Structures are given as C-alpha cells and as structure tokens.
Amino acid sequence: MLAFFPLDTSYFGPTEQRAMLNLRVDDLDAVLEKLRAGGVDIDPKREDHEYGRFAWFNDLEGNRVELRQPPQS
C-alpha cells in the first residue's frame, strides 16, 4: 500500500517525504532481523495494536517505510 500525507505533515520529521510505502509481512521480527543483518537503518520504535504490529525503517534514499504484521488469528 502507498499512503499519501498532507503537505504540512510532521509525521516524517524534517524531510520532504509526502508518501510512505506500507508493507504487510507475516513475521515482523524475522523481517526486521533480515533487514538489520543487511545493515538497514531500523527505527527502534514499535507499536502493537489489536489491528496489528508495526515497525519502520529507512530505505537507501532515507525514505521511511512501514511494516505491518496483521493480528494472528
């Protein structure tokens, strides 16, 4: 999913980024471990909600990307 944000958003901090790629994953911890092993810049922030688990990383160009693991049934 690609999410677009308002021009005046502060969600990304001091950057020109106005859209974010949101990727659905089956195993958030495993994906984060693979990214970490590859030297990817991973945000230490995590969120757990009844509708899923969330984590973020920055791609090679510095764009924030969201990972979402749906709730386990």
Q: What is the residue type of 32?
A: L
Domain holding 9: CATH number? 3.10.180.10
Sign of CA dihedral 48, 50, 63, 34: positive
Write down the pLDDT at residue 71: 94
CA atoms of 58 and 40, how far apart (whole Å): 7
Residue 43, domain extent: 2-69
The confidence score (pLDDT) of residue 9 equals 80
How far apart CA 41 and CA 44 sit, in angstroms, is 9
Contact 28, 66 (CB under 8 A): no
What does the pLDDT profile of the chain (73 residues) look like in tens digits? Answer: 778 888 888 777 767 778 888 999 999 999 999 999 999 999 999 999 999 999 999 988 888 999 999 998 6
Q: Rounded CA gap, 31 and 25, in Å?
A: 8
Residue 16's pLDDT is what?
76
Number of domains in the chain: 1
